[in-house]
Chains A and B, each alone.
Chain A
Amino acid sequence: MAQVLPAERDLRRVIGDGEGVPDGEVEGLSEDDLLELHRRLVQLRTYDERSLVYHRQGRIGTYAIFWNHEAMQAGSVYALEREDWIFPSYRESAIGLLRGMPASTVLSWWRGHPTGWWNPADWNVASICVPIGTHVPHAAGLAWGKKLRGESACAVAYFGDGATSEGAFHEGANFAAVMRAPLILFCNNNQWAISTPLEAQTAAETLADKAVGYGIPGVRVDGADVLAVYEATREAVTRARAGDGPTFIEAVTYRAAPHATADDPSAYIDPARVEEEKERECLGRYEAYLRRLGLLSDEAAEAVRAEALERMREGIAQAEAEPAPDPALLFSHALASPPASFDQDLAELRRVLGG
């Protein structure tokens, strides 16, 4: 039995506050790395903000906003290799961008258009999971498969604080721990699950405490500190590749936006608290850090934003240019070998559509 230490209490931080709390640094990250991380944060932020507008224009369906969650996504993915698998929840819908997936693909996914169905095997990014926590066992199984095949890749499952209440989370975490599967359990603790606050979700003092029960390390990190997230994930990946099994990372942030576009948080969240949290949002904090290091000028920051906006404009144009899908797809993708009943349904549909 490996000895497991109690889960951490304090949040790991690298970025200081420019006043009393000094800036730290992450060993092994070059200036280029630091700027690349910035570019990625801006890319995600731009995608999210433009998507919200795009939703308001009625051009995509319900959209899960991830404003102030970018550091968790960009920081953790930066610690992965391309061979490692990502299992996103709806909150990480655009995480593929970090692997070069075109914005038009993600936008098309939110438009319900077939060009939004990326092939998970092309990107090592699994399909987005909307039922809460369901994908944790999938990630455990993929990680176990990698181990069985003697491959070095690991898997990361992203889920929220609320997801830790689901049986699937518990069973998946326990399963991976027992099998010493190379899995990172990455919990985005934004302290809300729709209208339910963390203290109504768990009686544990921290979510990382749950790791103790599975016999794996539980790490707590400031989820709005991209460098701390990166470092904690890198450590977990190293453990996973060394055959030491899963790590639970609790990244603490705050959901400073509605749960999704259909949600009105005024009934349950104190708006003053939201405003306070917005002050501490992850991109601004990282930019201030880079400026203190003398690595980011106004012009450079502007250029990064302009580039991200341009990519997004291209993405929207491309997604909009896609022709309407063929209804036959409804049937042709449902089973590997469509039964005769599908042909009958399709013929009926074509008749109704008059084509």
Chain B
Amino acid sequence: MPELSYREAVRDALSHAMREDDDVFIMGEDIAEMGGSMGVTAGMLDEFGPDRVRNTPISEMAIVGAGIGAAIQGMRPVVEVMYEDFTTLAMEQIVNQAAKHRSMSGGQLKVPLTIRTQGGAGWSPGAQHAQQLEGWFVHVPGLKVVFASTPTDVRGLLWSAIYDDNPVMFFEHRTLYGIKEEVPDDLEPIPIGKARVHREGEDVTVVATGRLVHEALAAAQEAEGEGVSVEVFDPRTLQPLDEDGLVASVKKTNRCVVAHEAVTRMGFGAEIAAVVQEKAFDWLDAPIERVGAKFAPLPFAPVMEDYVVPDAADVLEAIRRTVGR
């Protein structure tokens, strides 16, 4: 089994699809010679040439809009928005167009577009370069939303996103690009809508996404030393959500903590909590705990950023709170 970094795993899935399928191409800002702001597409220009690895003008709206145009003729473009903060510039295209074409054409038009983007705190880029906005998109009927946390997942899920006939928002986390994992020899597609249980446990289920999956695993390790057995559950795809897997896990552990880096209030975690109380209310032994960022714009100074975003210690505290009841 080869070991790939998260960055290499994204590149591997893209390259694989582009080798097999002329209808797959990528475009975005600075993705060619430079390999993208995070080095994800490094070397791809040499293999696939400047037409299929396309540097675009700084035009997020046109990047996504042109992706839609290419997709409605049956191509499978993968466009990159350099920071997820800048999906804001393309919201009309994503929310009103990509997400609506199918239903507004009576199901006749499909938009097999993948919009890759990355973000997150942990390196102090400030209020306009570190947000976690995936929660905005799960709320839009017509979009699928993926947020992978490991090399294996990001590889298999990106493949599935490219071959999904719906527009997919594909979130990557900036701080995960360097992490490594052994991945299957052959690229195995991972179905969109299927969670991954990273660690089985008996006492509490921690539902975590993105960077917080790793924080949750660290917290689970600590908790084990305190005699608490933690199950770490990564939905991997936020929309659609693996509700069956989620509910089964909570029915087993009877406690639930939700952890994401996005702000807690009004967030994706609230939806998880709602699903759990709706479908597993009688199994719950304690209120569901939420872990996330404080409700404030992200500050630029590293110490201040630390105050706002959650880490393993916050997850551990939430675990203790819930088992203490």
Question: Which chain A residues have a beta carbon within 8 Å of chain B's beta carbons?
Answer: 61-62, 111-113, 130-133, 162-163, 165-168, 193-196, 200-202, 267-268, 324-325, 327, 329-331, 334, 341-342, 345, 348-349, 353
* Complex-state Cα separation, A202 to B58, whole angstroms: 10
Return the chain B residue nearest A163 by Cβ.
B58
Q: B57 — which chain A residues lie within 8 A by C-beta?
A: 162, 165, 196, 200-202
Chain B residues positioned under 8 Å from A341 (CB to CB): 265, 295
What 1/0 mask marks residues of chain B from 300 to 323 whose CB sits below 8 Å from any chain A CB? 111110011000000000000000
Least CB separation from B35: chain A residue: A267
Task: Judge whether B55 and A196 touch: CB under 8 Å.
Answer: yes
- Report the number of A-B residue pairs with Cβ-Cβ less than 8 Å: 96
Contact A194/B30 with A162-B58, A330-B307, A345-B294 known, Cβ cut-off 8 Å: yes
Contacting pair B308 A330 (CB below 8 A): yes
Chain A residues with Cβ below 8 Å from B141 are none
**B61 CB-CB contact with A under 8 Å:** yes
Question: In the complex the two chains form, is A345's CB within 8 Å of B296's CB?
Answer: yes
Minimum Cβ distance to chain B for residue A111 (Å): 6
Task: Choose from B34, B59, B129, B301 the contact partner of A167 (Cβ within 8 Å).
Answer: B59
Asked if A111 meets B58 with Cβ closer than 8 Å, knowing A194-B30, A194-B37, A195-B32, the reply is no
- In Å, the complex CA distance between A345 and B126 comes to 20
Q: Can you list 17 residue pairs at the A/B interface with Cβ under 8 Å?
A: A112-B299, A131-B89, A163-B58, A165-B59, A166-B58, A167-B59, A193-B58, A194-B37, A195-B55, A202-B57, A325-B304, A327-B304, A329-B304, A330-B294, A334-B296, A341-B295, A348-B294
Tell whether, in the assembled complex, residue A132 and residue B58 are in contact, meaning their CB atoms are under 8 Å apart. Answer: yes
Instruction: Classify the secondary structure of B's interface with A.
Output: loop
The reply to whether B34 and A195 contact each other, CB–CB distance below 8 Å, is yes
Judge whether B301 and A111 touch: CB under 8 Å: yes
Among candidates A62, A166, A267, residue contacting B59 with C-beta atoms closer than 8 Å: A166
Residues of B within 8 A of A200 (CB): 55, 57
Since A193-B30, A267-B33 are in contact, a sample of 6 more A-B pairs with Cβ atoms closer than 8 Å, ordered by chain A residue number, is A112-B126, A168-B89, A196-B55, A201-B57, A329-B304, A334-B296
Restricting to B68-118, which residues have a CB under 8 Å from any CB of A? 85-86, 89
Residues of A within 8 A of B37 (CB): 194
Residues of B within 8 A of A165 (CB): 57-59, 62
- Cβ of B8 within 8 Å of any chain A Cβ, yes or no, is no
**Chain A's nearest CB lies how many Å from the CB of B251?**
30
Q: Kindly state whether residue B49 has any CB partner on chain A within 8 Å.
A: no
Say yes or no: A113-B308 contact (C-beta < 8 A), given A132-B58, A267-B34, A341-B295: no
Let me know if B29 and A112 touch, CB within 8 A.
no
- Taking the complex as formed, is B125 at the interface, i.e. its CB lies under 8 A from any CB of chain A? yes
Q: Are A167 and B61 in contact (CB under 8 A)?
A: yes
Give CA–CA (A111, B32) in the complex, Å. Answer: 32
Q: Which residues of B contact A (CB under 8 A)?
A: 29-30, 32-35, 37, 55, 57-62, 85-86, 89, 124-126, 128-129, 265, 294-297, 299-304, 307-308
In the assembled complex, the CB of B312 is this many whole angstroms from the nearest CB of chain A, namely 13
CA distance A268 to B45 in the complex (A): 12
Residue among A113, A132, A202, A341 with most chain B CB within 10 A: A132
- Tell me how far the C-beta of A319 lies from the nearest C-beta in chain B, rounded to whole angstroms: 12
A196 touches B29 (CB 8 A): yes
**Minimum CB distance partner of A61 in chain B:** B124
User: How close is B107's CB to chain A, nearest CB, in angstroms?
Assistant: 31
Q: How far is the CB of B313 from chain A (nearest CB, A)?
A: 8
Q: Which 6 A-B pairs have CB atoms at the shortest separation, nearest pair first?
A: A112-B301, A112-B300, A165-B57, A195-B34, A268-B33, A330-B296
CB distance from B81 to the nearest CB of A (A): 12
B86 to chain A, nearest CB (A): 7
A324 in contact with B30 (CB, 8 Å): no
The answer to whether A131 and B86 touch across the interface, beta carbons within 8 angstroms, is yes
With A61-B300, A112-B301, A130-B128 known to touch, is A349 a contact of B294 (CB < 8 Å)? yes
The reply to whether A331 and B296 form a contact with Cβ atoms under 8 Å apart is yes
A112 lies within 8 A of B124 (CB): yes
B23 to chain A, nearest CB (A): 24
A345 adjacent to B129 (CB under 8 Å): no
CA distance A345 to B265 in the complex (A): 10
Determine the distance from Cα of A162 to Cα of B89 in the docked complex, in whole angstroms. Answer: 15
How many angstroms from the CA of A330 to the CA of B306 in the assembled complex? Answer: 11
Q: Which residues of B contact A201 (CB under 8 A)?
A: 57-58
Which B residues lie within 8 Å of A162 (CB)?
57-58
- By a CB distance below 8 angstroms, the chain B residues around A168 are 89
CA distance A145 to B57 in the complex (A): 31
**B89 CB contact (under 8 Å) in A167, A193, A194, A327:** A167
CB distance from A221 to the nearest CB of B (A): 23
Bound complex: CA of A353 vs CA of B308, how far in Å?
12
- A132 and B88 CA atoms in complex are apart in Å by 12
A353 to B307, CA, bound (A): 9
The reply to whether A334 and B304 form a contact with Cβ atoms under 8 Å apart is no
Quick one: given A165-B58, A345-B295, A349-B294, are A195 and B33 in contact (CB under 8 Å)?
Answer: yes
Least CB distance from B131 to A in Å reads 12
A344 to B195 Cα, complex, angstroms: 33
CA distance A111 to B302 in the complex (A): 9
Residues of A within 8 A of B59 (CB): 165-167
A138: min CB distance to chain B, Å: 14
- A62-B125, A331-B296, A334-B297 are contacts. A268–B34 as well, Cβ < 8 Å? yes
Return the chain A residue nearest B90 by Cβ: A167
